[in-house]
Structure 1
Amino acid sequence: MSKEICFIADSSGGLPREILERHQIKEVPFYFKFQNTDYYCENVDYTGSEFYRHMEKNPEDVPQTAAPNVNDWLGALEERYVRGAKNFIVTTISSRLSSSFQTASLAKDVFAEQHDDVQVEVIDSNTCACGQASLEIAIAQMIESGKAFREIVDRVNQAVGSVTTLFVVNNLKYMEAGGRIGGATAFLGKLAQIKPVCEFIDGAVRPVKAVIGRKNSLKTMMDLAISRVSDWSRLIVTVQNAEFSEDADYAVDYLRKAASYSGKIYRSDLGVVVGAHSGPGAAGIGLVEASPLLR
């Protein structure tokens, strides 16, 4: 990571751990709790695997999540400032899904008042999970390539609206509990074994297609993803899953064969802030066409 630019991201993107380490990205965690527990920090007190195993063993214990607070963001900014950082790029989950963008923005204002030698840009990713991760990987690559701070910010703000984030769920109860679908829809979906393919559009969840059967839903998700790509040469792809790695394997293999895609495919656990509403067995794919970003 460039010493000139510090990159800070909330944990909702579920960035692969190796990307965080390689690019020295500071991750600010979301909080979550179960019915009879205190709040935990994502990826600090609990791993994604532990989180989903708990959900599988305790299906009625639907978790609650909370965004990073202003002090969390200030702590991350101060930590990197004392190490020499002066230019900060901060990314968050869609502001329509969480207050993370708002708390990061408040922290930015406080931090800028305390330090007159810094630049801080908070970017609303307008998405989350695998789409957010792909966008953040593109940012990390731009920083690594030596692009200027303002150029990176301008390019990312232009690219935010073109990120593709598609996902499928294995059980509708968590989307019902989170208010994403109504009770009647959930009941009928369970009877018919409907596995909806959903997308984040303009920062909010939208069902794209109702599909019967798990493999059909995964295939439909991948076909939709493939149909969105116009330039395969500089594509950033992230596949995420919630404890069902065989489904992620299927998605990766399908993309390789159906699109003859031989490029890098990043993989990671689906983060808890999305997983709390999608449940174990959720899987998704995020796409960013990086040519306009990295040229």
Structure 2
Amino acid sequence: MNEKIAQIVDSAGNLPRDILEKYQIIEVPFYYTFDGDTYFQENAEYSTVDFYQIMQERSNQAPRTAAPNMNDWIQAFKKAHENGYKKIIVTTISQALSSSYNNANLAQKMYLSNVKDLEIEIIASNSCSCGQAALEIKIAQMIHDAYLSWKDICTITKASIPYLTTLFTVKDLYYMKAGGRIGGATAFMGHILNIKPICEFVKGVVRPVKAVRGRNNSLLAMANIAISRLTQLSNPVICTQNALCDEEESFIIKHVLSGLSSDVPIYRGILGTVVGAHSGPASIGIGFVGDIPGNIY
């Protein structure tokens, strides 16, 4: 195909920086704040590593995040258009978790009201973090291969979302309580019993998958859940992300690879601020997506 296709993502997937550079992906950052007054753009003023270090320093002050605004999206569309792109595919965090998708749609309508030679498709991933990243890497690979049309890539992307898995586990329930993901009583009992829940994005929202006692057991259980699903997929794209726990991420990767029949590349990264604000330091996740069953392309 001779189409010149631009890929734009919000930073909820927190794609590895080398992937952004390799595939020339435009990232529209989320914002975060610790005091409610001063907001920073993700991956701009501070790195994601800095974000988690600040969380550790301000352990009694849970951060909050805010979606990219309409102007942020307009500037991204303008950048792609001015670089000669006539087709754009956009992916965002789940619509149920953030206004990023809605803001992108409002920006699309405004920008296209003055531009006639551009087409933009905006797709909510129904996910976040490493699962969203896996989907976005899959899109980048399809664009790079230049075998499919923009319309076909959009169709495959939408059809892939029901087969997308995003799992994560936390070390401390404090941040999930502070972010309203669990109640105070649940957090208290979880702390007393040393419960480390494994959670998943289901239809765009966070749902518990399994409650496990002990950190090592939760990591192993999450890896086993991933293996059981990955063995059902063809050509999976796999991403892992961690919040300052590289060794534990390596443990999960080693265990997952040992359970698969063939070597599969696993893209490592840092858990972004959108999930990290609610899960805290030492959280870790794995996300993946494979070919659509019966895919004719």
Normalising by the residue count of structure 2, what TM-score does the alignment of the two structures yield?
A: 0.96
SS of equivalent to 1:286: strand
Mapping of 1:1-295 within 5 angstroms?
A: 4-35=4-35, 38-146=38-146, 147-231=148-232, 233-290=234-291
Query: 1:3 Cα deviation (Å)?
Result: 6.6
Q: Secondary structure in 1 aligned to 2:200?
A: strand
User: 1:230 Cα deviation (Å)?
Assistant: 4.1
- Counterpart CA distance in 1 for 2:218 and 2:133 is 22
CA distance in 2, matches of 1:294, 1:69: 37
CA distance in 2, matches of 1:235, 1:160: 13
Q: Quick one: structure 1 residues 145 and 4, their matched pair in 2 at CA, closer, same or farther if it must change by over 3 Å?
A: same
Assess if the C-alpha contact under 8 Å between 1:93 and 1:127 holds in 2.
yes
CA distance in 2, matches of 1:170, 1:290: 32
1:294 and 1:236, CA in 2 relative to 1: closer, same or farther beyond 3 A?
Answer: farther
User: Deviation string for 1:170-228 (max 9, x for gaps)?
Assistant: 10011111111111000000011100000000000000110000010011111111111
Q: Which runs of 5+ in 2 are unaligned?
A: none
Partner AA of 1:54 in structure 2: I
Distance 1:143 1:294, change over 3 A: farther
How far the C-alpha of 1:290 sits from its partner, in A, is 3.2
- Cα separation, 2, equivalents of 1:289 and 1:80: 28
Asked if the contact 2:36–2:64 (Cα under 8 Å) also holds between the matched residues in 1, the reply is: no
CA contact (8 A) 2:160 2:292 kept: no
SS at match of 1:205: strand
Structure 2 residue matching 1:211: 3-state secondary structure: strand
Identity, in percent, stands at: 47
CA pair 163-36 structure 1, distance change in 2 beyond 3 A: closer
Checking the alignment, whether the CA contact within 8 Å between 1:70 and 1:103 is kept in structure 2 is: yes
2 CA distance for matches of 1:4 and 1:38?
A: 38
**Which amino acid in 2 is paired with 1:52?**
Y
Contact 1:138–1:294 (Cα < 8 Å) also in 2? no
Given that 2:3 and 2:87 are in contact with CA atoms closer than 8 Å, whether structure 1 keeps it comes out as no
Give me the whole-angstrom Cα distance separating, in 2, the residues matched to 1:270 and 1:213: 21
TM-score norm. by structure 1 comes to 0.96
CA contact (8 A) 1:23 1:140 kept: yes
Helix, strand or coil for the counterpart of 2:213? coil
Q: Give distance in 1, aligned partners of 2:90 and 2:129.
A: 16
Q: Distance in 2 between matches of 1:294 and 1:19?
A: 27
The letter for the 2-side match of 1:160 is I
1: CA distance, partners of 2:104 / 2:240: 26
Q: 1:90-149 deviations in whole A, cap 9, x for unaligned?
A: 110000000000000111111111101110000000000000000000000010111100
How many Å separate the matches in 1 of 2:30 and 2:186?
A: 29
Runs of 4+ with >2 A deviation: 229-233, 258-261, 290-295
One-letter code aligned to 1:80: A
Deviation, 1:87, is 0.6
Contact 1:234–1:291 under 8 Å retained in 2: no
- Hey, what's the Cα distance between the residues in 1 that align with 2:150 and 2:296? 13
**Secondary structure, aligned partner of 2:268:** strand
One-letter identity of the residue aligned with 2:125: S
The Cα of 1:37 is off from its aligned counterpart by 5.6
Q: Per the alignment, in what secondary structure is the counterpart of residue 196 of structure 2?
A: coil
Conservation of the 8 A alpha-carbon contact between 1:194 and 1:213: yes
Is 1:131–1:285's contact at 8 Å kept on the other side of the alignment? yes
CA displacement at 1:83 relative to structure 2: 1.2
- Aligned to 1:195, the other structure's residue is in SS state strand
**1:63-96, CA deviations, whole angstroms, 9 ceiling, x for partnerless residues?**
0100000000000110111111111101100000
Structure 1 gaps of 5+ residues are none
Aligned-partner SS, 2:207: strand
